[in-house]
């Protein structure tokens, strides 16, 4: 094991390279750029060969190139974020519909307008029903490891996999990472054996038009394959542990949830801060635990239910907002706990890169324990600001763009960016 002090993006790039991708498509968008830049150098130098690095003209083309490559039997990889992910949405659905095992990194970032380059989960959450497997990394080490597992998983169930890692927070963080050795990866990840292939020796037509007579069945089968992935993910993680000697991935990661009256559910890098906060509260006698969800699609209903156990309440910390209703993860968790009588709270936090501080978390969790929390809470919301804007909009029809108005109100300092 060689631990190296490197940037998360760099670590992911090296891990991806060791998975021997044959076609990599890249279109620049922050904060995923460092990953494909590093891969570009690997291909250009000949270190990664045979591999075609295609610099496409859009994310839509990136995913499309990956589709063509994957259907031709090549291991295909790309990375994107935010607007880029949305720009390729049509192709994202197509890749999963065709059952092509493409692996894509999503360096999670907010979606505009207003344009914002910082981290939250709005982008990948918007694709939760696209048919892709979605894995969320808590740390850079996990991000690295999940990519290796993602190729294996994708190719075994013939589904595309999104590895989601928080933009900047992980992608740009320099940490000690154990980058998998080539021999280990080769031992863990067999060569890509496509389920269907464009091959002149054995021609088939891929991508037929399917009408009402079979469409439901096709969709059911897509769901069934995700259910297969649900069983496969823990096995792949266990295999990984056997080869690489460390635990990484899996469906969920409970932390101090035994006997917990309150369980906080979250995805991604915020879990670290949450665990620190919970440790502190535990020390003070609060029965509180944390449940990290690694596999958001397929969603591990049973594992979530088991981990939350007999807790009286769950607090779902969401880094995305389902505008008009509130939580996205919450509704999934609620389905897992259906009939349990567990109280649930949705806390929207860290949108567009706003820092989630231990202080704010602690205050929020204490309120939750006392059931003083609103069912839908916006962490650290500048309430006077939004109320002034709402008043303004109520008075005048043409009150101007809300975002600019509020920024003007908030003054030059923006201390929440983390």
Partner 1 sequence: MPVQPIKFYQSGSFVVGNRLLDPDQRSVQADPNRTNSLNSGHRACQGCGEALGARYALDAAMRATNNQLIAVNATGCLEVFSTPYPETSWQIPWLHSLFGNAPAVSTGVAAALKAKGRTDVRVVGQGGDGGTVDIGFACLSGMFERNDDVLYICYDNEAYMNTGVQRSGSTPPAATTMTTQAVGPEPGNRFGQGKNVPLIAMAHEIPYVATATVADLRDLEYKVRRAMEFRGARYLHVFVPCPLGWGTASCDTIRIARLAVHTGLFPVFEAEHGEVVDVTRIPRQVPVAEYLRPQRRYRHLFGASPRPDVVARIQQIADRNIRRFGLLAAEPAPTAQEAP
Partner 2 sequence: MELPFAITLDVGSSLANHTGSWRTERPVYVNRLAPCNQACPAGEDIQGWLYDAEDGGYRAAWERIMADNPFPAIMGRICYRPCQTACNRGTLDEAVGINSVERFLGDEAIRSGWTVPVDAEPTGRRVLVVGAGPAGLSTAYHLTRLGHQVTVRDAGDKPGGMMRYGIPKYRLPREVLDAEVGRILDLGVRLELGQRVDDVLAARDEGGFDAVFLAVGAQIGHRAYIPAGDSARILDAVSLLRDVADGEPPQLGRRVVVYGGGNTAMDAARSAKRLGATDAVVVYRRTQDRMPAHPSELAEALAEGVVVRWLSTISQADSGTVLVEKMRLDETGFPQPTGEFEELQADTVVLALGQDVDSSLLAAAPGVAVDAGRVTVGTDLMTGAPGIFAGGDMVPADRTVTTAVGHGRLAARHIDAWLRGVRYQPAPVLPLATFEALHTHYYADAPRTVRPRLDDARRTTGFEEIVGGLDEETALFEARRCLSCGNCFECDNCYGMCPDNAVIKLGPGNRYAFDYDYCKGCGICVAECPCGAIVMEPEET
Interface with partner 2 (CB under 8 A): 97-99, 158, 195-197, 202-208, 210, 214, 217-218, 221
Report if residue 98 touches partner 1, rule: CB under 8 A.
yes
For β-strands 252-255 and 288-293, DSSP reports them as antiparallel
For β-strands 295-297 and 252-255, DSSP reports them as unpaired
Q: What is the token pair recorded at 334?
A: 């609620």
DSSP tag of 32: T
Smallest Cα–Cα separation from 375: which of 343, 411, 331? Answer: 343
Q: How many CA atoms lie within 13 A of 221 on its CB side?
A: 12
Task: Identify the residue among 6, 26, 71, 165 touching partner 1 (CB under 8 A).
Answer: 71
Q: Which does 158 bind (CB under 5 to 8 A by kind): partner 2, partner 1, none?
A: partner 2
Q: Which does 52 bind (CB under 5 to 8 A by kind): partner 1, partner 2, none?
A: partner 1
Size, binding site for partner 1 by CB under 8 A: 44
Report if residue 191 touches partner 1, rule: CB under 8 A.
no
DSSP tag of 267: -
C-alpha–C-alpha distance, residues 382 and 405, integer Å: 13
Report if residue 86 touches partner 1, rule: CB under 8 A.
no
CB of 55 to partner 1, least distance (A): 7
CB of 154 to partner 1, least distance (A): 16
Q: Which does 70 bind (CB under 5 to 8 A by kind): partner 2, partner 1, none?
A: partner 1
DSSP tag of 190: P
C-alpha–C-alpha distance, residues 83 and 23, integer Å: 23
Report if residue 329 touches partner 1, rule: CB under 8 A.
no
Report if residue 55 touches partner 1, rule: CB under 8 A.
yes
Q: Which does 148 bind (CB under 5 to 8 A by kind): partner 1, partner 2, none?
A: none
Report if residue 61 touches partner 1, rule: CB under 8 A.
yes
CA dist 377 → 63, 225, 410 (Å): 36, 35, 21
Nearer to partner 1 (CB atom), residue 68 or residue 418: 68
Task: Identify the residue among 35, 67, 79, 266 touching partner 1 (CB under 8 A).
Answer: 67
Residue 394 CB neighbour total at 10 angstroms = 9
Q: Are 171 and 119 in contact (CB under 8 A)?
A: no
CB of 89 to partner 1, least distance (A): 11
Report if residue 91 touches partner 1, rule: CB under 8 A.
yes
List alpha helices for 112-165, DSSP H: 122-125, 140-157
C-alpha–C-alpha distance, residues 230 and 235, integer Å: 9
Q: Which does 242 bind (CB under 5 to 8 A by kind): partner 1, partner 2, none?
A: none
CB of 97 to partner 2, least distance (A): 7
**3-class DSSP assignment, residue 377:** strand
Q: What is the token pair recorded at 158?
A: 């013939």
**Angle at Cα 296 formed by Cα 290 and Cα 298, nearest 5°?**
130
Nearer to partner 2 (CB atom), residue 211 or residue 394: 211
In angstroms, the first-to-last Cα distance of the chain is: 32
Q: Which does 195 bind (CB under 5 to 8 A by kind): partner 2, partner 1, none?
A: partner 2
Give the interface segment with partner 1, choosing from 69-77, 177-185, 226-234, 328-336 (CB under 8 A). 69-77
* Residue with tokens 């915020």, as numbered in its chain: 270
Rg (alpha carbons) of the chain, rounded to whole number = 22
Nearer to partner 2 (CB atom), residue 198 or residue 406: 198
Q: Per-residue x/- marks for partner 1, 209-248, CB under 8 A?
A: xxx-xx----------------------------------
Nearer to partner 1 (CB atom), residue 47 or residue 238: 47
* Site residues (vs partner 1, CB under 8 A): 22-23, 25, 50-52, 54-58, 60-61, 64-74, 76, 90-91, 94, 98, 198-200, 202-211, 213-214
């Amino acid at each position: 094991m060689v631990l190296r002090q490197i940037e998360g993006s760099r670590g992911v790039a090296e891990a991806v390279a060791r998975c021997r991708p044959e076609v990599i498509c890249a279109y620049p968008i922050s904060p995923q750029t460092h990953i494909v830049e590093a891969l570009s150098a690997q291909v250009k130098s000949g270190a990664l060969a045979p591999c075609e690095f295609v610099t496409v003209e859009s994310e839509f083309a990136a995913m499309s190139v990956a589709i063509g490559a994957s259907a031709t039997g090549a291991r295909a990889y790309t990375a994107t974020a935010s607007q880029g992910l949305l720009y390729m949405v049509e192709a994202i659905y197509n890749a999963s519909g065709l059952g092509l095992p493409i692996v894509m990194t999503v360096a999670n970032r907010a979606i505009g307008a207003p344009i914002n380059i910082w981290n939250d989960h709005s982008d990948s959450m918007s694709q939760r029903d696209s048919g892709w497997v979605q894995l969320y990394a808590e740390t850079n080490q996990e991000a690295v490891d999940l990519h290796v597992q993602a190729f294996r998983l994708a190719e075994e169930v013939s589904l595309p996999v999104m590895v989601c890692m928080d933009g900047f927070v992980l992608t740009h963080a320099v940490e000690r990472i154990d980058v998998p050795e080539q021999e280990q990866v080769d031992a863990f990840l067999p060569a890509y054996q496509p389920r269907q292939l464009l091959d002149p020796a054995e021609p088939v037509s891929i991508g037929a038009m399917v009408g009402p007579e079979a469409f439901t069945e096709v969709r059911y089968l897509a769901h069934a394959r995700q259910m297969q992935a649900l069983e496969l993910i823990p096995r792949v993680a266990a295999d990984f542990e056997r080869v690489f000697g460390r635990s990484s991935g899996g469906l969920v990661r409970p932390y101090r949830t035994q006997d917990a009256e309150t369980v906080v559910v979250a995805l991604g890098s915020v879990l670290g801060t949450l665990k620190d906060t919970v440790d502190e509260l535990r020390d003070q006698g609060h029965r509180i635990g944390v449940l990290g969800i690694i596999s958001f699609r397929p969603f591990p209903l049973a594992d979530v239910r088991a981990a939350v156990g007999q807790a009286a309440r769950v607090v779902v910390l969401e880094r995305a907002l389902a505008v008009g209703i509130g939580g996205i993860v919450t509704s999934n968790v609620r389905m897992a706990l259906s009939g349990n009588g567990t109280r649930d709270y949705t806390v929207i936090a860290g949108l567009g890169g706003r820092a989630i501080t231990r202080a704010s978390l602690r205050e929020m969790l204490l309120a939750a324990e006392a059931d003083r929390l609103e069912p839908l809470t916006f962490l650290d919301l500048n309430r006077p600001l939004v109320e002034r804007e709402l008043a303004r909009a109520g008075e005048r029809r043409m009150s101007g763009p809300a975002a600019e108005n509020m920024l003007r109100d908030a003054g030059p300092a923006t201390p929440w960016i983390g």
